[in-house]
């Protein structure tokens, strides 16, 4: 058995231990987890996570206790363990060193995660190219992928094959509520390295959110931000309040390419400050800006890549994606 396998075995045991502790006594279990993190945090992402846990532990009335308790008592422990290790260890720790070496040696910019836009498009590239991209990414230790879809999940069988073939990676799949049939939800439950990202811009999203929550699917909520009116609804807190009964783990705002910069910045600041203020039992995140910050910690570069439906690739270095001359075949 190699050292990496031993490390993952140890991590699996640690995660199992803290799942039990937190399910029995959230505050005591999380304080013990903070103590452990203080002793072992030696990388930038680990230190950031430790600082967040430390602030939470200092706030005895933090709604994040309820969020974490709900997570460990309703989601299958094997899913928490698999998703957590793949994200925290593979993507943020083990993979980050190789990403930094590639950047240093080759001068190539890599992002710790890649967004793949599969929203329906007449010129959509075949799924085989997406599978090839993920295979190439794995060779440079890129383990995290967000796939955005729309309409029906006609490629669901291809997605399942992709998720299962890359058991060491993590995937988030952004879907509209009408795409999630009963059969797809049941199959998603069995895929431990998958998080469903529900589009709450769609009508009647609450019905699907209730299904996902009641069945114990690992899921988060998302919302595109294009206009000042949409931003105002988020800034008022009404969107996050509406999400609370359905208990998603994370609430992601996603800036539309055409949104004004002042709108994007105001939403980004709100989500950041609300997360720190610990106001809701949901973790608020502005997806693009937070992923860029994580890449700064992981790879020491401010960059996030998005592959579009036609195979072109855009890059975000701050708040918005910009066109590049790259295609998905140029990445990795």
Kindly report, residue by residue over 266-281, the tens digit of the pLDDT. 999 999 999 999 999 9
Range of the domain at 136: 78-330
Strands 304-307, 283-286: pairing kind:
unpaired
Residues 65 and 121 in one domain: no
Residues 136 and 169 in one domain: yes
Domain boundary among 70, 91, 119: 70
Residues 200 and 137 in one domain: yes
Q: What is the mean pLDDT of residues 16-29?
A: 73
pLDDT of residue 255: 93
pLDDT of residue 18: 66
Q: What is the mean pLDDT of residues 279-285?
A: 96
172 by DSSP, 3-state: which?
strand
pLDDT of residue 93: 76
Domain boundary among 51, 70, 89: 70
Residues 66 and 83 in one domain: no
Residues 139 and 198 in one domain: yes
Max avg pLDDT among 49-53, 86-90, 179-183, 301-305 = 179-183
Q: What total number of domains does the chain contain? A: 2
Residue 265: CA atoms inside 13 Å, Cβ hemisphere, count?
Answer: 4
**Per-residue pLDDT at 34 exceeds 90:** no
CB 54 within 8 A of CB 34: yes
| Residue 122, H or E segment | none
Q: What is the mean pLDDT of residues 95-113?
A: 68
Residues 48 and 82 in one domain: no
Q: How far apart are CA 79 and CA 58, in angstroms?
A: 28
**Per-residue pLDDT at 1 exceeds 70:** no
> What confidence category does residue 332 fall into, taking pLDDT thresholds of 50, 70 and 90?
confident
> What confidence category does residue 290 fall into, taking pLDDT thresholds of 50, 70 and 90?
very high
pLDDT of residue 8: 61
Q: What is the mean pLDDT of residues 56-67?
A: 82
Residues 44 and 113 in one domain: no
**Per-residue pLDDT at 200 exceeds 70:** yes
For residue range 114-171, what is the model confidence (pLDDT) as tens digits?
A: 999 998 776 889 999 999 999 998 888 899 999 999 888 989 999 999 999 999 999 9
The CATH number covering residue 199 comes to 3.20.20
Using the CB atoms, write b or e for 299-320: b if 16+ within 10 Å. bebbbbbbbbbebbbbbbebbb
CB 327 within 8 A of CB 321: no
Residues 41 and 83 in one domain: no
Domain boundary among 70, 104, 122: 70
Mean pLDDT of the chain: 87
> What confidence category does residue 42 fall into, taking pLDDT thresholds of 50, 70 and 90?
low
Q: What is the mean pLDDT of residues 25-46?
A: 66
Q: Which residues are within 8 A (CB) of 307 and not within 5 positions of it... i.e. 6 or more apart?
A: 114, 115, 116, 117, 130, 133, 313, 328, 331
Identify each DSSP E strand in 111-231 by its residue range: 113-117, 144-148, 170-175, 194-199, 219-225
Q: How far apart are CA 154 and CA 169, in angstroms?
A: 23
**Per-residue pLDDT at 98 exceeds 70:** no
Residues 174 and 278 in one domain: yes
Listing DSSP states for 81-96 in one string gives HHHHHIIIIIIIIIHH
Q: How far apart are CA 199 and CA 178, in angstroms?
A: 10
Strand order through the sheet with 321-327? 283-286, 250-255, 219-225, 194-199, 170-175, 144-148, 113-117, 304-307, 312-316, 321-327
Residues 316 and 267 in one domain: yes
Residues 246 and 298 in one domain: yes
Residues 161 and 48 in one domain: no
């Amino acid at each position: 058995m190699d050292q990496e396998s031993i490390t993952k075995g140890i991590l699996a045991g640690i995660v199992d231990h803290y799942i039990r502790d937190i399910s029995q006594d959230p505050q005591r279990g999380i304080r013990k987890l903070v103590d452990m993190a203080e002793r072992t945090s030696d990388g930038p992402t680990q230190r950031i996570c430790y600082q967040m846990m430390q602030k939470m532990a200092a706030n005895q009335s933090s709604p994040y206790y309820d969020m974490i308790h709900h997570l460990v008592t309703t989601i299958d422990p094997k899913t928490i363990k698999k998703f957590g290790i793949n994200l925290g260890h593979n993507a943020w720790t083990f993979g980050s060193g190789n990403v930094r070496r590639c950047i240093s040696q080759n001068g190539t910019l890599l992002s710790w995660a890649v967004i793949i836009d599969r929203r329906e498009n007449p010129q959509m590239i075949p799924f085989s190219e997406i599978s090839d991209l993920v295979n190439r990414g794995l060779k440079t230790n890129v383990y995290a992928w967000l796939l955005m879809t729309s309409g029906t999940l006609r490629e669901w069988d291809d997605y399942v094959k992709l998720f299962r073939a890359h058991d060491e990676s993590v995937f988030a799949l952004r879907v509209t509520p009408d795409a999630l049939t009963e059969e797809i939800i049941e199959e998603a439950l069995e895929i431990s390295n998958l998080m469903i990202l529900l589009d709450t811009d769609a009508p009647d999203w609450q019905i699907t959110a209730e299904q996902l929550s009641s069945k114990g699917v690992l899921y988060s909520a998302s919302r595109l931000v294009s206009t000042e009116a949409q931003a105002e609804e988020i800034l008022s807190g009404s969107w996050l309040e509406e999400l609370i009964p359905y208990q998603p783990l994370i609430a992601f705002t996603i800036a539309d390419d055409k949104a004004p910069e002042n709108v994007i910045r105001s939403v980004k600041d709100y989500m950041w400050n609300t997360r720190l203020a610990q106001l809701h039992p949901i973790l608020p995140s502005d997806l693009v800006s937070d992923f860029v910050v994580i890449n700064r910690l992981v790879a020491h570069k401010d960059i996030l890549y998005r592959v579009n439906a036609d195979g072109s690739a855009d890059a975000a270095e701050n708040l918005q994606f910009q066109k590049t001359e790259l295609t998905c075949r140029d990445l990795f």
